[in-house]
Amino acid sequence: MAGLSELYTEIARCQRCEIARSRTNVVPGEGAESADILFIGEAPGFHEDQQGRPFVGAAGQFLEQLLASIGLKRQQVYIANVIKCRPPNNRDPLPIEIQNCRKYLERQIEVIHPRMIVTLGRYSMAMFFPGKSISKIHGTAEKRDNVIYFAMYHPAAALHQQSLRRDVEADMLKIPSLLAQSKTVAEAKPKAQQLNMFEL
C-alpha cells in the first residue's frame, strides 16, 4: 500500500475543486504514520493555508493544550481535516468539496490504521456519525470494526464559548481510558487464542 508521502504528492496536485485555485498550500495533515489516535477537524484556516500544516492557529494552540492535558504531544497523534484546502474567508466546506476530498481522508485512515478516530466539530462528526447531533453525542464513544469513534466539539468553537470549553476539556480527558480499554481487549485476544491451541 502506498504511504502518506505518495498521498501528500497526490493531494498537492489536486485541482478537483474551485478552492484549489485560491489556496496558498494544501494542508494534507501531519503526525505519526503509526499513530493510535487520528484527530479530524474541518478545514484549513488562514494560518494553516499559509504554512501547509493543520491546526497551527489559535484553535491549534488550544488543541495542543488539550493534548498536553492527556500527556500527548501533537507529533504522537495524527491531525487531519475533512477537506485539505482553505475555503475562502473560512466559509463552511461545501458538500461537493467534502465529497471530492473524501477519498484522501479514507486513504489516510487506511494507511494510519488508528485505534481511535476523534472527530472535531460538526463536519467531521457528520462523516462518521451521520444524522447525529453533536450536542447529544459529544463525549460518547462507539466501537466499529475495532476502531473507537469519539465525537468532540471543535476547539475553535470552544475558544469562544465557556460552556463548550468545559465540555471539550472534559471529553478530552476520557480518551486515555477508552484507548487503554481497547488495547487490553485487542491484546488479550491472541493470548486467548494461544490457550485454545494448547488445549487442542
- Binding residues for ligand URA, rule: CB under 6 A, are 41-45, 48, 54-55, 57, 59-60, 81, 156
CA distance 10 to 25: 13
Cell numbers placing 1: 500500500
- Residue 192: CB minimum distance to ligand URA, A: 41
Cβ closest to ligand URA, residue 8 vs residue 55: 55
Cβ closest to ligand URA, residue 25 vs residue 143: 25
Cβ closest to ligand URA, residue 47 vs residue 143: 47
| Alpha-carbon distance values, 120 to 130, 131, 146, 157, 184 (Å) | 14, 16, 20, 10, 26
Cβ closest to ligand URA, residue 59 vs residue 116: 59
Please work out, in degrees rounded to the nearest 5, the angle formed at the alpha carbon of residue 76 by the alpha carbons of 43 and 67.
70
How many Å from the N-terminal Cα to the C-terminal Cα in the chain?
37
State CA 107 to chain mean position distance: 13
Comparing every residue's Cβ against ligand URA, the nearest one is 41
- Residue 42: CB minimum distance to ligand URA, A: 3
- Residue 15: CB minimum distance to ligand URA, A: 21
